[in-house]
Amino acid sequence: MSFEPKNSAVKWVEERLPIMGMLHHALYEYPTPKNLSYWWTFGSLAGVMLVVQIVSGIVLAMHYTPHVDLAFESVEHIMRDVNYGWLLRYMHANGASMFFIVVYLHMFRGLYYGSYKAPRELLWWLGLIIFVLMMATAFMGYVLPWGQMSFWGATVITNLFSAIPIVGESIVSWLWGGFSVDNPTLNRFFSLHYLLPFVIVGIVILHIWALHTSGSNNPTGVEIKDKQDSIPFHPYYTVKDLFGLAIFLIIFSAFLFYAPNYMGHPDNYIPANPLVTPAHIVPEWYFLPFYAILRAVPDKLGGVLLMFGAIAVLFALPWLDKSRIRSARFRPIFKQLFWVFGAVCVGLTYMGGQSADGNIAEIHGMVPVMIDGIAQMKDGVPLMEEGVTFAVTNVLVARILTVYYFLHLLVLLPVIGLFEKPRPLPASISEDVLSKTSPVKEADNA
Amino acid sequence: MTTTTPVEEDGVTRRDFLYVAAGGLSAVGAAAAIWPFIAQMNPSADVLALSTSEVDLDGIEIGSEITAVWQGKPVFVRHRTEGEIKKAEDVVIANLPDPQSDEERVIKPQWLVMVGVCTHLGCIPLKEQGDYSGWFCPCHGSHYDTSGRIRKGPAPKNLVIPPYEFLDDNNIRIG
Ligand code: HEM
Ligand code: FES
């Protein structure tokens, strides 16, 4: 069904710029596997959220002032005085969180169904680049309201670069444009916060181009073999995605209208004070797993390297996973380890929000009195006091989870890929779909 | 066989040389053009000019401290007690993560002047806290002693001593 315009105006344009044909091709001719589940909706939801962030961001920028003396007040002005300002700001702030939820689910979908494997390695890489750019954008956006968390988050994260030997300090003062996070920093972060989403748009176009070149993966991980296996994107998946969007918007609205500050931190409603660090600084929830990894390492450079390494290893995933089978449905061992890995990521997120020097569990009893690491004695016996005799520290838990994160990606994935005995693959997508309706085959598909 | 350009013995033509020379020169030109776009982010002249601060020590009681501001950063100026000084001097230096004697860190032992920025990731440590009764950084748990030296936790270095001098008995200039 190729595109042949009837309308003469459309024809005139088409002969000069075949843009309608391109859209027509993407909607009607691009063959989509007929068995895509709702896990395939998160890609289009991410696209919608990118648009929401750009539209709400551009109008916020009409009222926001990027100056240390005015930034906090201008955000309060948006909240109190600007028509619907509260709505636009809450939409943008909660939108960032929703964007990350959607993208994380989209990524775990890829992990479960092996969507990063050949021939989709570049598609996976482009996705990871979008993820990294999103993190940079969200980090700089969070600095803009110039509250306490903005300021101290900016300080801690920019200081990560000071761990680089020799040139680290110069890089940090270059990032700041001064000797500490200050007005020059706020100004450039605003400039880059405005720019990066449009860079993301560019990468998204490449991401979709790569997608349309190799085609969508699907729950079986078996490629489309003939026409039986596919259906046109429109109307089948446009409708499915729209239904997904409607459900998603209900959840988004629930946060937006009923709990707009649930995912934020109250300290960011205190204006930035460069002379007082809040007692317990935490980044936004979507950075917590990486923050937990950073704090799990007792060495500064080591912590920074491991934190960036946690993202970098994902780029190597297509080569770390030795199994030729894509979908976890046919990989009994991988399937279980996938869920363990998911739980570890949730665990890291939780630990990233806990205090650095606390304990997750402790037993109380009498302990020797220590001063500067020396037990205090009285008449030849150690002085005792009420205290913690045994504790599982937050740091210990974070360390175990960090080790497992890397163990899964660097050791378990390659090894099980070599030894695991996969379950038999269906001959085609159609066969798999039809087998679902036959009670005989149901059993071995459970 | 016809050759239009003279070929040297090792197969390198004059054209190859021109390609490399033109390419190399363009790379230098591009780097020179990019530099201003990078350098503009470094501290500007007015920021660099704010480089000294003066502090009046009068009224800082023994056992208390004030926080001055120098280059936008907090500077702790602490009037140390005899006990704190003794504790700082009695430490076996060889065992420290960043070995430095207390003497090297002060001009007058009763006045400890240091940049109040944790050498880990830049938070401001809290005074009179932690396992060594010096400073404790709540961000990721670094403990500093009464000389501001790192003793435990992720911070790699002692709290930095800024350049400063005594203008007279009661005034110092930092920077
Ligand atoms: C990838 C897309 C984007 C993400 C993930 C993102 C994220 C964020 C975040 C997390 C904040 C802090 C919200 C708060 O706590 O108040 C923020 C603030 C802000 N963003 Fe964005 N943003 C995006 C795109 C944009 C765009 C395209 C603009 C256009 C100029 C923009 C303009 C602003 C402004 C003016 C603020 C400060 C006002 C405020 O804090 O509400 N953003 N952004
Ligand atoms: S910033 Fe002080 S311990 Fe990390």
Per-residue pLDDT tens digits for B76-107? 999 999 999 999 999 999 889 999 999 999 99
Please give the Cα distance from A195 to A188 (Å, whole number): 10
Q: What pLDDT does B120 receive? A: 93
Across residues A69-81, what is the average pLDDT?
A: 98
Q: Who has greater pLDDT, A170 or A298?
A: A170
A123 touches A214 (CB < 8 A):
yes
Q: What pLDDT does B51 receive? A: 75
Burial class (CB in 10 A: 0-12, 13-18, 19+), A168: middle
Half-sphere CA count of A443, side-chain side, radius 13 A: 2
Q: Which residues line the pocket of ligand 2, CB cutoff 6 A?
A: B 118, 120-123, 137, 139-142, 153-155
Most confident option among A370-374, A436-440, B118-122:
B118-122
Instruction: Give the three-class secondary structure for B172.
Output: strand
Across residues A90-115, what is the average pLDDT?
A: 98
Long-range (24+ apart) CB contacts under 8 A made by A250-255 are: A251/A98, A252/A94, A252/A95, A252/A98, A255/A94, A255/A97, A255/A98
Q: Residues in chain B whose beta carbon is closer than 8 A to a beta carbon of chain A? A: 38, 41-44, 47, 67, 69, 71-74, 87, 117, 120-124, 131-133, 137-141, 153-156
Q: What pLDDT does A361 receive? A: 84
* A108-155 pLDDT per residue, tens: 999 999 999 999 999 999 999 999 999 999 999 999 999 999 999 999
Q: Residue A443 pLDDT > 50, yes or no?
A: no
How far away is chain A from the Cα of B174, in angstroms, using its nearest Cα?
14
Across residues A298-304, what is the average pLDDT?
A: 89
Q: Residue A261 pLDDT > 50, yes or no?
A: yes
Q: Output phi, psi for A361, to 5 deg.
A: -150, 145
Q: Residue B4 pLDDT > 60, yes or no?
A: no
Residue among A25, A67, A234, A240 flagged as catalytic: A240
A242: Cβ contacts below 8 Å, ≥ 6 apart: none
Please give the Cα distance from A102 to A131 (Å, whole number): 11
Across residues A45-50, what is the average pLDDT?
A: 98
Residue among A241, A321, A420, A432 flagged as catalytic: A241
- Closest ligand to A61 CA? 1
Instruction: Give the three-class secondary structure for A269.
Output: helix
Q: Residue B60 pLDDT > 60, yes or no?
A: yes
How many other C-beta atoms can be found within 10 angstroms of the C-beta atom of residue B9? 5
Q: Residue A442 pLDDT > 50, yes or no?
A: no
CA of A56 to the centre of ligand 1 (A): 8
Do B73 and A179 make contact, defined as CB atoms within 8 angstroms?
Answer: yes
Please give the Cα distance from A327 to B17 (Å, whole number): 53
Q: Residue B164 pLDDT > 80, yes or no?
A: yes
Q: Is the peptide bond before B97 cis (omega within 30 degrees of 0)?
A: no
Mean pLDDT over the full length of chain A: 93
For residue A357, which residues of chain B lie inside 8 Å, CB to CB? 141
Please give the Cα distance from A105 to A217 (Å, whole number): 16
For residue A295, which residues of chain B lie inside 8 Å, CB to CB? 140, 154
Please give the Cα distance from A192 to A170 (Å, whole number): 20
Do A155 and B121 make contact, defined as CB atoms within 8 angstroms?
Answer: yes
Has A37 been annotated as catalytic?
no
Q: Please tell me if the CB atom of residue A89 comes closer than 6 angstroms to any atom of ligand 1.
A: yes
Residue to test with chain B: of A372, A374, A376, A394, most B Cβ within 10 A: A372
- AA letter at A78: I
At A102, is the pLDDT very low, low, confident or very high (cuts 50, 70, 90)? very high
Q: What pLDDT does A435 receive? A: 86
Q: Please give the helix or strand (H or E) that residue A245 lies within, else none.
A: helix A233-258
At A28, is the pLDDT very low, low, confident or very high (cuts 50, 70, 90)? confident
Q: What pLDDT does A441 receive? A: 46
Give CA A415 to chain center in angstroms. 27
Q: Residue A71 pLDDT > 80, yes or no?
A: yes
Do B131 and A373 make contact, defined as CB atoms within 8 angstroms?
Answer: yes
Give the percent of chain A with pLDDT over 90: 82
Has A6 been annotated as catalytic?
no
Has B120 been annotated as catalytic?
no
CA of A64 to the centre of ligand 1 (A): 10
Mean pLDDT over the full length of chain B: 91
How far away is chain B from the Cα of A354, in angstroms, using its nearest Cα?
11
Q: Which ligand 2 atom is nearest residue B118's CA? A: 2
End-to-end CA distance of chain B: 75
End-to-end CA distance of chain A: 38
Instruction: Give the three-class secondary structure for A299.
Output: coil
